[in-house]
Amino acid sequence: MTILIRPYADPDETGWLRCRVLSFLGTQYFDDVKTRPTTFELPAVRLVAEAENEIAGILDVEIDGGLATIDTIAVHPDHARKGIASALLDAALPELSDRGATEVDAWTREDPVANAWYQATGFAEAYRYLHVYKGWDEPSDGLTAPDGLTLQTAFLHAPVERETELRARFARVHICRRYLRPLEVPSTGNPR
């Protein structure tokens, strides 16, 4: 199978969405559904991996000064475990460095495959906190909604130190991890 890594183009929208939805479906981010690709105000590197005439992988990275943040990395389930995510990252890193980024970060939850991939590709965990979901059938004790509204569901952030307490109260609690990787600074060709 031949994989072509290339910049994202507007006609890729449907394939981008399909790849993202299907790849996220089997993860703890299953409900992070988008109906349009992310748009970026800051500079960004947007790549797709094309295989067998379909979008098999996507990578979007936004650059804010020296920090590049992975917004989306996803591989279509029919093409998983073939090195596509690593190929996308390898293609993006030189471009990120050329645009002035000195480090790249990403956020993920507890999915073993995602965490193993970040660690295998040179990222180190730098920070963690909790994502907490209050379901419609879980008590709202201690949670408030603006006047006139009734709290049904909620998405909350909490310190990781409250993990045991919050897992006892809510069915869906995830450790959210920030991974960080330094980037090589491009050579200017001038000896110091």
Alpha-carbon gap, residue 82 to 130, rounded angstroms: 31
Angle at 31 between CA 20 and CA 114, to 5 degrees: 60
Alpha-carbon gap, residue 168 to 158, rounded angstroms: 14
Closest to 173 measured CA to CA, from 158, 184, 188, 183: 158
pTM for this predicted structure: 0.90
Q: Are 107 and 177 in contact (CB under 8 A)?
A: yes
Residue-level pLDDT at 190: 46
Which parts of the chain sit beneath pLDDT 50? 190-192
Residue-level pLDDT at 189: 52
Q: Are 112 and 96 in contact (CB under 8 A)?
A: no
Could you tell me the CA-to-CA distances from 90 to 86, 96, 97 in Å, in that order?
A: 6, 10, 12
Domain range list for the chain: 1-101, 122-184
Residue-level pLDDT at 192: 40
Residue-level pLDDT at 188: 56
Alpha-carbon gap, residue 55 to 16, rounded angstroms: 6
Q: Which amino acid is at 56?
A: A
Q: Are 121 and 180 in contact (CB under 8 A)?
A: no
Please list, in sequence order, all residues whose beta carbon lies within 8 angstroms of the beta carbon of residue 59, skipping any fewer than 6 positions away.
Answer: 45, 46, 47, 48, 70, 72, 73, 85, 88, 89, 91, 92
The fourth-level CATH superfamily of domain 1-101 is Gcn5-related N-acetyltransferase (GNAT) (3.40.630.30)
Residue-level pLDDT at 1: 74
